[in-house]
């Protein structure tokens, strides 16, 4: 153990602990801005500087480790003044028109300026121009960029897609697409991980709230909204509302209050996805053991984009089932239009998703099954825009028929959920009886790379569950080199899955990923129905319309051929 003193408090920590972590242990907070544990420990912003006895220069706490006998001070005049000066320098190259910023209220820089009590910036304020093409799902506004390098590191290390890079030199150093590529021709998959790691408003989703307001204004149209599982875990966070109040029923109530005609649950089509994808898996296992295995899940559009961009040879191995969002759009504009006796053109489908790539997914074909996608953050902005008092909103049920979802469908929002849901139903399909609902709980957990054998009552499958594209890349390499053999693989582009999606609320300090995930498993546990194939509305829909999974009509509506794309949104 290493013994040191921080602001007069003696603390004993493991060797190689950073000054920052040692201070935390001593109960002393040191401000950070660029720092992102294990990802970006480069001491670029110089806000975490501290004084160490015997050394004139200040040291960054985030990436310097403690030494035995070190005497650290975090509250001296030198520390406070230099931190404040550096903060003002950062502000001098940042467009701090906070009132008009998408991150107003969730900006780390804004918070630090408040904490430091910065009342003026004594320098000329000059920042880069924002000349990003507004059409892109992902928006970069370099007038806000503080060059913390987090996005570069996240894209390099977590996703290995390396879209961003340091560009230009000297005091003109900036961050932009690697090699100054046009953004549309980069390998960006729109996972949005850089967005949720950006401490300021330099990266964000394309704001589609106005489009939703326009659709809502079309009086002769029927507006259907669907909500993905992960949205219910987090929408209350930035509204400052307790999870106990911000329930899924409250969310249904809010959406009805906003005036959508039908409020459906994407969990319903998650169950449909299991029916289609599960059946597809069993069919692939029967027919073509060599060629098309492992089968990969396809409900994550970030992952599908990754395959399209970098491993097109694997496209035939993606499940052809549309994602739950895509299926709900398809059903709404076919079966449901017929049911309501209206033209499909008279129906608008709006999705609320924890995801940026879902905005891209709806452009993959020209069905227009979904009209607009809002992220969880946009939903929250819409709620604010309409000045809705959540406390006054009554909890409501989702609408019938597509408002009923099972516990299997709801865990789609966390990594391992699709796998578990699929295994529950695959077991039933093979054995004509259910396993216990928690029989496959081993696939749970937020680790990035999990693998193992699962026993479907005699049929043993090699499965893997990965999240984060660095893990996906690792898995693909092993599969292609035949170092690993799997039958079924779930992939989510975002680490831990949709609960940590690129469209989720951004907490200034840390994403509450574990909490969000736990909430989904609690919803699963408390659901009376925990098997997708037991969803009564799913059963009805097959009886009335789709006949059976992989029928001709379901092929036509619920499946998609994955193609390499030329045009990108």
Partner 1 sequence: MSRLTFKTNDSQELAKEEMYRDLERRIVASPTGLCPVDLGSSFIKMCLAQSCGKCVPCRVGLRQISKLLDKILDGEGTVETLDLIKTTAESIKLTADCAIGTEAANFAINSINNCVSDYMEHINHNCCTCNSNQPVACLNLCPAHVDIPGYISLVHEKRYDEAVDLIRHKNPFPIVCAYICEHPCENRCKRNIIDSAINIRGIKRFAIDNSKKPNLPKLAEKTNKKIAVIGGGPSGLSCAYYLSIMGHSVTVFEAHKELGGMLRYGIPNYRLPRKELDREINFILQTGITVKKNITVGIDISLRDLENQYDAIYVSIGAHTDKKMEIEGEDSKGVLSAVEMLGNIGDDKMYDFTGKNVIVVGGGNVAMDVARSSIRLNAKSVNIVYRRRVEDMTALREEIEGALSEGCNIIDLMAPIRIESDTNKNVIGLVVKPQMISDIKNGRPSIKDKDEDEKLITADVIVVAIGQGIDIKHFESSGVNVKRGTIDAMDTGAIEDKLKLFAGGDCVTGPATVIRAIAAGRVAAANIDEFLGFNHEIKHNIKISTVNYKDKKPCGRVELPLREPQDRKNDFNPIELGLKEEEVMQECDRCLRCDHFGFGVFRGGRKTKW
Question: Which of 8, 9, 37, 55 is the binder for partner 1 (CB under 8 A)?
Answer: 55
Contact 40, 150 (CB under 8 A): yes
Nearer to partner 1, 19 or 443 (CB): 19
Stretch in the footprint of partner 1 (CB under 8 A) among 38-46, 113-121, 378-386, 406-414? 38-46
Q: Is 233 in the site for partner 1 (CB under 8 A)?
A: no
Nearer to partner 1, 34 or 404 (CB): 34
Q: Is 482 in the site for partner 1 (CB under 8 A)?
A: no
Q: Is 218 in the site for partner 1 (CB under 8 A)?
A: no
Matching residue, tokens 């949709």? 498
Stretch in the footprint of partner 1 (CB under 8 A) among 75-83, 166-174, 203-211, 431-439? 166-174
Residue 69 beta carbon to partner 1: minimum distance, rounded to whole angstroms: 12
What does the block give as tokens for 158?
A: 């977590």
Half-sphere exposure (CA, 13 Å, Cβ side) for 157? Answer: 13
Q: Is 41 in the site for partner 1 (CB under 8 A)?
A: yes
Q: Is 95 in the site for partner 1 (CB under 8 A)?
A: no
HEC string of 425-440 equals HHHHHHHCCCCCCCCC
Q: Is 141 in the site for partner 1 (CB under 8 A)?
A: no
Nearer to partner 1, 100 or 481 (CB): 481
Half-sphere exposure (CA, 13 Å, Cβ side) for 164? Answer: 29
Question: Which of 77, 180, 291, 433 is the binder for partner 1 (CB under 8 A)?
Answer: 180
Matching residue, tokens 């920042």? 127
Residue 180 beta carbon to partner 1: minimum distance, rounded to whole angstroms: 5
Q: How far is Cα 17 from Cα 36, in angstroms, rounded to an integer?
A: 15
Residue 493 beta carbon to partner 1: minimum distance, rounded to whole angstroms: 24
Residue 166 beta carbon to partner 1: minimum distance, rounded to whole angstroms: 6
Sign for the pseudo-dihedral over CA of 118, 122, 128, 129: positive
What does the block give as tokens for 445?
A: 């957990």
Q: How far is Cα 505 from Cα 380, in angstroms, rounded to an integer?
A: 8
Nearest-CA neighbor of 199 among 489, 493, 511, 494? 511
Q: Is 67 in the site for partner 1 (CB under 8 A)?
A: yes
Stretch in the footprint of partner 1 (CB under 8 A) among 162-170, 216-224, 386-394, 396-404? 162-170
Contacts with partner 1 in 273-292 (CB under 8 A)? none
Question: Which of 5, 12, 25, 65 is the binder for partner 1 (CB under 8 A)?
Answer: 65
Nearer to partner 1, 44 or 422 (CB): 44
Beta bridge partners of 12: 3
Contacts with partner 1 in 113-132 (CB under 8 A)? 129
Nearest-CA neighbor of 98 among 112, 116, 80? 112
Residue 56 beta carbon to partner 1: minimum distance, rounded to whole angstroms: 5
Number of residues that bind partner 1 (CB under 8 A): 26
Q: What is the DSSP letter of 321?
A: B
Q: Is 170 in the site for partner 1 (CB under 8 A)?
A: yes
Contacts of residues 53-61 at CB distance under 8 Å and 24 or more positions apart, as own/partner, are 58/82, 59/19, 61/18, 61/19, 61/20, 61/23, 61/30, 61/32
Nearer to partner 1, 120 or 126 (CB): 126
Q: Is 458 in the site for partner 1 (CB under 8 A)?
A: no
Question: Which of 64, 139, 348, 470 is the binder for partner 1 (CB under 8 A)?
Answer: 64
Q: How many other CB atoms are found less than 10 A from the CB of residue 558?
A: 25
Question: Which of 57, 134, 210, 244 is the binder for partner 1 (CB under 8 A)?
Answer: 57
Residue 171 beta carbon to partner 1: minimum distance, rounded to whole angstroms: 8
Stretch in the footprint of partner 1 (CB under 8 A) among 82-90, 172-180, 216-224, 561-569? 172-180
Nearer to partner 1, 172 or 210 (CB): 172
- To 10 degrees, what angle do helices 248-258 and 376-385 make? 50
SS3 114: helix
Nearest-CA neighbor of 88 among 38, 123, 132, 43? 123
From residue 19, alpha-carbon distances to 30, 79, 81, 150, 258 in Å are: 9, 14, 19, 20, 49
Q: Is 161 in the site for partner 1 (CB under 8 A)?
A: no
Stretch in the footprint of partner 1 (CB under 8 A) among 165-173, 203-211, 439-447, 495-503? 165-173
Sign for the pseudo-dihedral over CA of 136, 106, 415, 398: negative
Stretch in the footprint of partner 1 (CB under 8 A) among 56-64, 81-89, 217-225, 499-507? 56-64
Nearer to partner 1, 226 or 470 (CB): 470
Q: Is the peptide bond before 294 cis (omega within 30 degrees of 0)?
A: yes
Matching residue, tokens 């909890």? 395
Cα 248 to chain centroid, rounded? 18
Q: How far is Cα 515 from Cα 243, in angstroms, rounded to an integer?
A: 10
Q: Is 220 in the site for partner 1 (CB under 8 A)?
A: no
Nearest-CA neighbor of 359 among 326, 321, 327, 394? 326
Question: Which of 44, 352, 383, 550 is the binder for partner 1 (CB under 8 A)?
Answer: 44
Stretch in the footprint of partner 1 (CB under 8 A) among 169-177, 339-347, 385-393, 536-544? 169-177
Stretch in the footprint of partner 1 (CB under 8 A) among 41-49, 102-110, 245-253, 373-381? 41-49
Buried b vs exposed e over 206-229: b needs ≥16 C-beta within 10 Å?
A: bebeebbeebbeeeebbbbbbbbb
Nearer to partner 1, 176 or 266 (CB): 176
Q: What are phi and psi of 179, to 5 degrees?
A: 65, 25
Q: Is 51 in the site for partner 1 (CB under 8 A)?
A: no
Chain contacts with partner 1 (rule: CB under 8 A): 41-44, 52, 55-57, 59, 63-65, 67, 129, 149, 165-173, 176, 180
């Amino acid at each position: 153990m290493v013994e040191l003193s921080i602001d007069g408090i003696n603390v004993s920590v493991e060797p190689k602990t950073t000054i920052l972590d040692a201070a935390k242990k001593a109960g002393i907070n040191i401000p950070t801005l660029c720092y992102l544990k294990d990802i970006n420990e480069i001491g670029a912003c110089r806000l975490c500087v501290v004084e160490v006895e015997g050394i004139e220069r200040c040291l960054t706490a985030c990436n310097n480790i403690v030494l035995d006998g070190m005497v650290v001070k975090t509250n001296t005049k030198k520390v406070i003044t230099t931190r404040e000066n550096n903060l003002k320098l950062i502000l001098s190259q940042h467009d701090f028109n906070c009132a008009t910023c998408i991150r107003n209220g969730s900006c780390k820089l804004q918070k630090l300026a408040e904490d430091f009590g910065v009342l003026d910036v004594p320098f000329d304020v000059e920042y880069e121009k924002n000349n990003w093409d507004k059409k892109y799902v992902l928006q970069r506004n370099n007038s806000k960029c503080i060059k913390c390098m987090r996005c570069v590191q996240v894209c390099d290390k977590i996703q290995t897609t390396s879209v961003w890079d340091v560009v230009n030199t000297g005091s003109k150093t900036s961050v932009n697409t690697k090699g100054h590529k046009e953004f549309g021709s980069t390998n960006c998959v729109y996972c949005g991980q850089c967005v949720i790691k950006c401490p300021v408003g330099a990266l964000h989703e394309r704001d589609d709230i106005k489009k939703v307001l326009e659709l809502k204004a079309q009086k002769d149209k029927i507006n259907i909204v669907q909500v993905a599982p992960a949205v219910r875990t987090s929408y209350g966070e930035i509204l400052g509302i307790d999870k106990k109040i911000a329930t899924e029923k409250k969310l249904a109530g809010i959406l009805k209050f906003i005036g959508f005609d039908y409020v459906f649950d994407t969990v319903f089509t998650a169950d449909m996805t299991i029916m289609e994808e599960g059946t597809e898996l069993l069919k692939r296992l029967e027919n073509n053991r060599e060629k098309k295995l492992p089968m990969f899940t396809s409900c994550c559009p970030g992952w599908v984009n990754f395959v399209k961009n970098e491993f097109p040879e694997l496209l035939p191995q993606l499940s052809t089932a549309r994602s739950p969002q895509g299926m709900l759009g398809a059903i709404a504009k076919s079966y449901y239009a017929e049911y309501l006796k209206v033209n499909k053109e008279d129906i608008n489908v709006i999705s609320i998703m924890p995801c940026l790539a879902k905005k891209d997914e709806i452009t993959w074909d020209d069905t227009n099954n979904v009209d607009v996608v809002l992220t969880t953050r946009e939903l929250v902005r819409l709620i604010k825009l309409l000045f809705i008092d959540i406390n006054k909103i009554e909890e409501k049920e989702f609408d019938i028929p597509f408002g009923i979802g099972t516990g299997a469908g709801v865990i789609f929002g966390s990594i391992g959920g699709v796998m578990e849901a699929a295994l529950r139903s695959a077991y039933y399909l093979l054995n004509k009886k259910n396993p216990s609902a928690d029989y496959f709980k081993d696939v749970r957990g937020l680790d990035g790379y999990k693998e193992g054998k699962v026993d479907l009552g005699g049929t043993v499958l090699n499965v893997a569950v990965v999240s984060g594209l660095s893990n996906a890349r690792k898995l693909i390499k092993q599969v292609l080199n035949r170092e690993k053999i799997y039958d079924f693989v779930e992939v989510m582009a975002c680490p831990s899955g949709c609960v940590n999606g690129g469209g989720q609320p951004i907490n200034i300090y840390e994403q509450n990923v574990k909490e969000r995930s736990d909430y989904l498993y609690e919803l699963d546990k408390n659901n009376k129905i925990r098997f997708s194939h037991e969803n009564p509305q799913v059963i009805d829909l097959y009886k009335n319309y789709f006949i059976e999974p992989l029928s001709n009509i379901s092929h036509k509506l619920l499946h998609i051929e994955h193609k390499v794309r030329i045009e990108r949104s």
